[in-house]
Amino acid sequence: MKKSRSSYTDRETPKTPGPDLWQAEWLPLPLSQEELQSIESVLGGWWLYLQEMFGFSSIRLELAGENGEHLNVHQPHQPITTPRSATEQRYPLTTRTGLLGWLYTRDGADEPSRQKELTSLLPLIGQSFEGKLERIRLGRVNNSLVARHNGVFESLVRLLGLRDHETESHTLRVSQITMQLVEHLGLPPEQHTAIRHGALLHDIGKLGIPDAVLLKPGSLTPMERRMMELHVTYGYKILSSFTSERQTLDIVLHHHEHWDGNGYPDHLCGEQIPLVARLFAVVDVFDALTSDRPYRTAWPSTRALTYLREQAGKQFDPNMVKAFLEVAV
């Protein structure tokens, strides 16, 4: 005997989508607490309206999952364990792309005219959920892309470490100090990830520098110095092929520019130099001075801090030196 809609029996996790959810627009389950709350908020808004207009004692929403599972969402303050009832009425919720799920109601709207009025509202209800579900899907895609993007950056850092272990250690230290300075200066949170990427990969262009120059234990000749200076251009070319993060590229290309215009590669001066590059330049030099290098031993922190003060307004932005001293001292 064919079951009517009102006698629909409990079937929480069928192995395959049943005919009741044919061609459904699958919901990506399981949902995070935040995602579930966003859907519950939509149902809660409709619950107040439907209760007032049609006198329902309860409503719930059944959505289809990607793998055949169902998600039951109840109006506020109704126990999740409420079973399906023979007194429930079921209405299909559709969107522009197909069936979204089913709206179950209990009591109320018994007259045909009231049921017709409710049916006319269903497309609007479906569209209100559609927007939430689309944001959930886009959020999932964005999180996946961000994870892959971060994975590429981390792989490049490890690759650079295989070439020059000291460069890798320097990179990790300056990235930590840079983010402390970023927090201190109150730069927009939406820029933090790109700034961190720039700090981690500021020397990635050294992959293009010959070992005889990169790992030379003594001082560089003028020709070798010019060759070493190419690492900022190499780094920019490497990263710009797969990222458009402005702060990342600004740090990589311009962290050796000087406030007085005597830096490289473009001889920018003053505020022509991007802010994040001016900020990072102070951190980069301080760590370089206080670390052992093949051609000299590390300076004491006090000597390095004195150098920063002396170079404020020459090599460095005075405001960035002041901010660094506030964090470091």
What are 216-252's pLDDT values in tens digits? 888 889 999 999 999 999 999 988 887 889 999 999 9
The residue extents of the domains of the chain are: 5-140, 164-328
If you classify domain 5-140 with CATH, what class do you get?
alpha beta
Residue type, 23: Q
- How confident is the model over 85-133, as pLDDT tens digits? 446 788 887 777 677 777 888 877 667 777 788 888 888 887 777 777 7
Is the model's pLDDT at 199 over the cut of 70? yes
Beta-carbon count within 10 A of 277 CB: 26
Cross-strand bridge partners of residue 161: none
pLDDT number for residue 7: 29
- How confident is the model over 255-288, as pLDDT tens digits? 999 999 999 999 999 999 999 999 999 999 999 9
CA angle (132 as vertex; 129, 138 as ends), nearest 5: 140
Top-confidence residue, 126 or 189: 189
Distances (CA, A) of 193 to 75, 119, 173, 212, 256: 38, 48, 16, 34, 21
In CATH, the architecture of 164-328 is Orthogonal Bundle (1.10)
